[in-house]
Structure 1
């Protein structure tokens, strides 16, 4: 899981801020704005144009929303395929652990932060599932091991892109393989799952609907 660039706490946005740091930063900006004396200024020609500009997108909020949408699509897809789906990640398995891990560093802390999003179960077989969203459709080992070796060797990474739902195992990533925009590592091709290609295509359409303009 990505870490906040200020405090090291987990965040859904790569190279972004956690929620607490984001709130602190924006609160301090608000205070500065409030302390400025109010003075009347002449209207310039550009004032009307500024009003028409769209508000700047917040990267932290945007990253969280994209991550949650991707997780929801994958969760519902596996349920539709007849799997039992259990939320697994750090906060789901150990509520409140984020605050307890503040400032803690070590192998155990890294393992907890890297816990996969789901465990899916069907036909007496269980799988760790980590969900990723990438607008460029790419995923490689360095994206997973930014903060050290990934401890869940049997995990499968389900990648949501703007057009497809793909899947690659951690073992494949370790062997030097990766997901690229034009390859055919589709979820429906995985031997681990008795998948329904038509249903996966249907969920791909949901992904396109939500992500084509972001």
Structure 2
């Protein structure tokens, strides 16, 4: 029977930690993920505001406050669609876009990351990915066509025709992302 290397309690893995010792050593990974996501959303929100867009918080947490607790354990098409609501709607020059913000330490994003909970219902969404080095963007359509964001791709947010953005301002916000995420696990 494997025992925790820290306290001696039962664990599933040889030379591993029990769940209590793991949480003490690493914090709650779910909470950590929520914090990273909120920081990424704030950086992207402020970036689009600085670029002259009107930014509206759209995701489940903002549109239907308190519903995340009600949806725990609920598995249905409606609950899945609610969970998958994009984070923002940005608007400028009579053009609106759904924006879903993601943080990935490894700088990678693929269709399987988006559809791990089922088919993604917002086909015209754009995914803005923050990593420890970059801010990149890809459309859901591009993901469906087999494209991905990875470390060496050149899907820079500043190159998106939808935004015709100020690349220098994006670089400034990329520096904020690097500062906040440089030591994130």
Q: What is aligned with 1:204?
A: 174
Spell out, residue by residue over 1:29-67, the C-alpha distance to the aligned partner (whole angstroms, 9 max, x if none). 6xxxxxxxxxxxxxxxxxxxxxxxxx6221223212211
Q: Where does 1:58-207 land on structure 2 (aligned, <5 Å)?
A: 58=27, 59-207=29-177
The runs of at least 4 aligned residues of structure 1 exceeding 3 Å deviation read: none
Task: Please list the CA deviations of residues 53-106 of structure 1 after superposition, one character each: whole Å capped at 9, or x if unmatched.
Answer: xx6221223212211111110000000000000111112101121233233221
In the alignment, the residues of structure 2 paired with residue 147 and residue 170 of structure 1 have an alpha-carbon distance, to the nearest angstrom, of 15
Q: Confirm or deny that 1:56 pairs with 2:21.
A: no
Unmatched 5+ residue regions in structure 1? 1-25, 30-54
- The normalised TM-score by structure 1 is 0.73
For structure 2, list consecutive stretches of 5 or more residues without a partner in the other structure.
1-18
Give the aligned length.
Answer: 163
Query: TM-score, with normalisation over the residues of structure 2?
Result: 0.84
Deviations along 1:81-140, one digit per CA (max 9) or x if unpaired, are 000001111121011212332332211111111000000000011100000000101000
